[in-house]
Structure 1
Amino acid sequence: MVDYLWSFDCGDTREDLTGLYNGTAVNGAVTISPDYSGQGKTLYLDRKQNQYIILPRSLNLTLNTSFTVTSWLLIAGYMTKTILSDCNSFNPICITFLITETTMNIDISNWDNATIIQTAFVSLQNYGCQACWMHVAFSFNHQTGSTIFYFNGMQIGEKYLNMTVATLSQPNKAKATYIGLNAVTNAQPFYGLIDQLSVLYAVKNASVILYEATTVCHYTFDREDINDGWGPNNIRARSQHVYRLWSNNKSSLIFNDSDSYFQSTGFTLMDSNDYEYSISFWLRLVIQKPEKANSAIAVLQLTSLIAGLSTDSYTCIMSMHVYEDNQTLGYFFPGFFKIIDANNSFIGNNTWVHIGVAFESPDTYLFYENGKLIYKDTNQRYGSIISGDPRFSVTIGGAYLDDSTPNKPVNFEQMKCFARLPIFNYTKMYGEIDDFTFYSRKLNESEFSTLAQSNDTKNLIEQL
């Protein structure tokens, strides 16, 4: 839902995916990996080198139009930084989108003398952070002048701008639109990372902005390629011996082999959101009578990359299982060997059930079944499990339950919770999942209830 998008994923710092606004990198601006999603590249700008991107023509954001500008940012340093700056030849004003350590700003400036005619800003005092990913959005309604600022998908302020000015040609001025530098003053360079910079010539709905900012990955299994990501980050999954099942005009993912799994990996959570997250998915298990005591079906595991070690070293954050004897949910947090038994849950055999998990910073986990809160646990240790912007991996299915298995796959480290922490007699998961979504925020009970009441959550995700 954009008119122009600079994803920086094509290995070219200048490329707009429409092909209409391919710019020019100045002073050695480059792309680096990974970006926020962990799948592609991001633009790196060094203010000490005065690096920026110059676009071939004006975006005409000041020509009596509504717009929404969005971007992922990771900022460094404590100086004012320009995200985007746009001038044109048909009126005497320019618009510049800026961020500081404490504010988000829009400046309307006179092109001739750089005088700031209007400014609108909101405080980031309780939101922003250094050297961490954050999502920003600026929307302007030309009819009303309403200018709304969003941080990590949440509206944090509304101001009013008047950009109705007399048309005045600037024949001796070259059109100037920059990414990462103020086009009026040639100052305030950006320092850090810019990713997924987009422009839409309309006011984007608040629910869409929230969806784009906080839906990390979403898989519907409606396409022939089951690993295709449906969410805004298009995170491609990996899987083994899982199959797409089509029934009653709806598809799901079936696990019917001893080493079936589905995995999404490489993404990060937001320090600027206190690492809060939620998981939502539909589950239908085939539950058999256990052959051993203390048996549990291995359902889901969440792991994180260990900072400072090799790229294949992961630690287990949380795992989810179903007890075969009483068909209830259980959760294990190995960081401090915490087992949670949701005894008032019930997972019916061969029956669809909606599962939800939410982490509320700094110390609370909430567990949902069919949209209802079934267990809440508070422990000050939870806040220490996730820190330092690690990369995550979430895996459904217990493909590898024995650490002595020879010829381990290359991604074994990312799904080793059940194999290396055998606190139960884990058994393989047989059954189906659908509409798996990972959010970088805490969903509330009303949102989980809405998801659980729908047989087709794909049509609801953007409304939450």
Structure 2
Amino acid sequence: MYDSCLDGTVNGTATYTTSFTGYGAAISFNQSSYQYVSIASGVLPLNCRSFTIEAWIYPISLLTSSDYGIIGQCQALTNFECFHFIIRGNKLYCGFFGSDVAGGTSVKMNEWCHVACVYDFATQAQQVWLNGYVDGSHICSPYNGSQGQTTIGASFHSSTHAIFNGYIDNVRYEARAKNSTEILNDASLSVYHSFDGGSLNDSGPNDINGTVSGSLPITSGRVNQALQFASGSYMYYQYPPFYFIGIDGYPFTKALWVKPNGTNTTQTLVFLKTTSGWCVHTLVMTSNRQLAANFWTGSSISTNGSIISLNTWTHIGYTYSTSNGIRLYINGVQYSTTGPFMSNTHSMPMSIILGGDAGHTVCSPGYGGAFTGAIDEFYVYRRELNATEIWALANP
């Protein structure tokens, strides 16, 4: 997905592949075929100003001896008139020709990662970011090139014409220097549903919108409005956008507000499944309204929470990492944990059902059922949030 102001022309016979969210498409570049996207000169201004350029990339078979362009813009091969955001020696480089900032971490092959190049005109700080964190920084003069086509998947900063090899998705440009919180959110917030006005649209950075089965009326929320679940209604996604949960041991976080008002039956809050039929009831209330958090290691692993009160808003945080296992938070405070374990999730993209299990009762653990009550402020992150971050979500 490209920003609407960055419409470009594909050079070569570039193809398309599944995007990092599972929705839409990412562009696929092959270095040997000289493929890239070009944007007309003057459309994307970088000169004498702050800016942030971000993208999701999936590198394939990069050689340490070659350069691979992510974004480029070159007016002339002179200092501060040729911008290049590239991978060199498997590490990120962002420069204005003659003044580069290098990343310190090798980019992984065959894995989606979030990259950013940021320049702050006021402080003259030039930075590269990898997966939401600063990977290199220094001070340099502003970029001065006012002309020259912008390229995606290429950088014409040298006679080698660095062409990317792999996939690129969600290229974004903003004429300001984003702060650390914004970039970390762009890199790690997978989906956020506020449900305000009854909307199932994603308020996060990825436009991952939900779909309703049945009817989900608007009700008063913990923050503005919420959705009312009853009679087997649930929210789901028409494609599996949560690829990262399908990577064994990949950290993630789910958080939401719930206000149950139903009878004492087993009810599913958050359900996880693949298109092949693998599934797990990751957050449920048992028949006595005790919260249980579940996952899969080759067999079921669980940790129990408190009894959830009827007609009262309760915040639930569920985090996972190999070093901590499941940590279950109630109203911003850690309640229980499984201890460390390695997840076993069949290496497939995942989809989430919220407020039920759509009748998928033959899963582990073997219980489910529809939720009756209200749900608000649903978040999914591609990382394990810490206790301070969970506390902030529970105290909006």
Q: Provide the TM-score with structure 2 as the length reference.
A: 0.89
Q: Which has the larger radius of gyration?
A: 1
Asked if 1:256 corresponds to 2:230, the answer is yes
Deviates more, 1:65-74 or 1:185-194: 185-194
Aligned to 2:104: 123
Q: How far has the Cα of 1:314 moved from its partner?
A: 3.3
Q: How far has the Cα of 1:438 moved from its partner?
A: 0.6
| Selected match of 1:26 from 5, 8, 11 | 11
Q: How far has the Cα of 1:297 moved from its partner?
A: 2.1
- Percent of aligned positions with the same letter in both sequences? 21
Residues 366/252 of structure 1: CA separation in 2 closer, same or farther (3 Å cut): same
Asked if 1:392 corresponds to 2:350, the answer is yes
Measured in 1, the distance between the counterparts of 2:296 and 2:346 equals 16
In the TM superposition, what are the counterparts of 1:369-384 in structure 2 within 5 Å?
Answer: 369-380=330-341, 382-383=342-343
Measured in 1, the distance between the counterparts of 2:277 and 2:191 equals 20
| Selected match of 1:64 from 48, 51, 73 | 48
State the SS of the aligned residue for 1:223: helix
Aligned to 2:120: 141
Asked if 1:433 corresponds to 2:380, the answer is no
Residues 130/379 of structure 1: CA separation in 2 closer, same or farther (3 Å cut): same
CA displacement 1:399-455 (0-9 Å, x = unmatched) = 544xxxxxxxxxxxxxx2x3444734x44321110111111011111111111112x
CA displacement 1:386-410 (0-9 Å, x = unmatched) = 474x311111223544xxxxxxxxx
Q: Is the 8 A contact 2:247 2:345 kept in 1?
A: no
Residues 289/271 of structure 1: CA separation in 2 closer, same or farther (3 Å cut): closer
State the SS of the aligned residue for 1:96: strand
Q: How far has the Cα of 1:277 moved from its partner?
A: 0.4
Residues 341/84 of structure 1: CA separation in 2 closer, same or farther (3 Å cut): closer
- Counterpart AA for 1:370: N
Q: Is the 8 A contact 2:96 2:143 kept in 1?
A: no
Q: How far has the Cα of 1:153 moved from its partner?
A: 1.2
Aligned to 2:22: 38
Asked if 1:301 corresponds to 2:301, the answer is no
- Counterpart AA for 1:337: S
CA displacement 1:127-172 (0-9 Å, x = unmatched) = x31111100111111232211221111223322222377x9x9xxx
In the TM superposition, what are the counterparts of 1:2-17 in structure 2 within 5 Å?
Answer: 7-8=1-2, 17=4
- Counterpart AA for 1:342: N
In the TM superposition, what are the counterparts of 1:60-459 in structure 2 within 5 Å?
Answer: 63-79=47-63, 80-88=67-75, 93-100=81-88, 102-109=90-97, 117-125=98-106, 128-163=107-142, 175-185=148-158, 187-224=161-198, 226-247=199-220, 250-257=224-231, 259-264=232-237, 265-267=239-241, 268-269=243-244, 275-289=250-264, 296-303=266-273, 305=274, 312-325=275-288, 327-342=289-304, 345-362=306-323, 364-380=325-341, 382-383=342-343, 385-386=344-345, 388=347, 390-401=348-359, 416=360, 418-421=361-364, 423-424=366-367, 426-454=368-396
State the SS of the aligned residue for 1:73: strand
Measured in 1, the distance between the counterparts of 2:91 and 2:264 equals 59
Q: Provide the TM-score with structure 1 as the length reference.
A: 0.76
Measured in 2, the distance between the counterparts of 1:313 and 1:387 equals 10
- Counterpart AA for 2:267: I
Measured in 1, the distance between the counterparts of 2:45 and 2:346 equals 39
- Counterpart AA for 1:433: I
Measured in 2, the distance between the counterparts of 1:230 and 1:99 equals 31
State the SS of the aligned residue for 1:266: coil
Deviates more, 1:426-435 or 1:43-52: 426-435
In structure 2, stretches of 5+ residues that fail to align are none
Q: How far has the Cα of 1:219 moved from its partner?
A: 1.0
CA displacement 1:314-334 (0-9 Å, x = unmatched) = 312452211222x32113335
Q: How far has the Cα of 1:270 moved from its partner?
A: 7.8
Measured in 2, the distance between the counterparts of 1:223 and 1:238 equals 15
Q: How far has the Cα of 1:373 moved from its partner?
A: 0.2
Residues 29/341 of structure 1: CA separation in 2 closer, same or farther (3 Å cut): closer
Q: Is the 8 A contact 2:278 2:363 kept in 1?
A: no
Q: How far has the Cα of 1:217 moved from its partner?
A: 1.0
| Number of equivalent positions | 388
